[in-house]
Amino acid sequence: MFAFSPNKDPRPNPAESASLAGDRGIPRSESWFSVESANRLLPLVSRIAQDLMRLDEMIRQQEAQMKGLEKLPKGNDIRAFSEELESVKESFRVDSERLDRVREELASLGVEIESLEDAAFAFPSLLAQRPIRLSWRLGEPEVLHWREVEETFRDRRPLDPAAIP
């Protein structure tokens, strides 16, 4: 795996992206990652992905807790349950906002969420002058797979690093 260097910006260079795309009909609005640039970004993406997965799990638990509290019969202890429900709702709101910020942070790096269930993420790239996605899953040591843009995480295949600049 390539080491992250704080002196070198690991994000793809838009000028390089434009020259890769040229006038071949490939959209210029995206920044393209090479395997090397995606791998340089992995230490940061990994930390952000861990935060994302932790927040997603907390929100799922809070949703289940709210549903359970809302189903409780109304009786003498309604005040205690109401206070607990309001506390869970506030935690849910705060964590949902944090989750949105983490998603925005990934997007600002040019990284896409492929599947939260699978902890899978994608890096826009080019293969034979066509857009593809380099595919990485939390826990993998480096980017090892790719897929076509219209495919899903489950369709990914092993990467031949020599084929992608």
Per DSSP, 116 falls in state: T
| Residue 133 belongs to some domain of the structure | yes
| Residue 110 belongs to some domain of the structure | yes
The answer to whether 103 and 82 are in contact (CB under 8 A) is: no
Domain count for the chain: 1
| Residue 105 belongs to some domain of the structure | yes
pLDDT of residue 74: 67
Instruction: Report residue 19 as tokens.
Output: 């020259």
pLDDT of residue 43: 96
State pTM to two decimals: 0.71
The answer to whether 123 and 144 are in contact (CB under 8 A) is: no
Spatial distance between the Cα atoms of 71 and 58, rounded to a whole number of angstroms: 20
| Residue 16 belongs to some domain of the structure | no
Quick one: angle between helices 78-109 and 35-71, nearest 10?
170
| Residue 62 belongs to some domain of the structure | yes
**pLDDT averaged over 10-residue windows placed end to end, the chain, 165 residues:** 33 39 41 92 96 92 85 68 83 90 94 93 92 95 95 91 66
| Residue 14 belongs to some domain of the structure | no
The answer to whether 43 and 10 are in contact (CB under 8 A) is: no
pLDDT of residue 89: 87
- Phi then psi for residue 69, to 5 deg, are -65, -35
| Residue 142 belongs to some domain of the structure | yes
pLDDT of residue 165: 61
- What element of type H or E holds 145? strand 145-148
Spatial distance between the Cα atoms of 41 and 62, rounded to a whole number of angstroms: 31
Instruction: Report residue 59 as tokens.
Output: 């929100």
The domain in which residue 101 lies consists of 33-163
| Residue 9 belongs to some domain of the structure | no
Non-local (6+) Cβ contacts of 140 within 8 A are none
The answer to whether 53 and 116 are in contact (CB under 8 A) is: yes
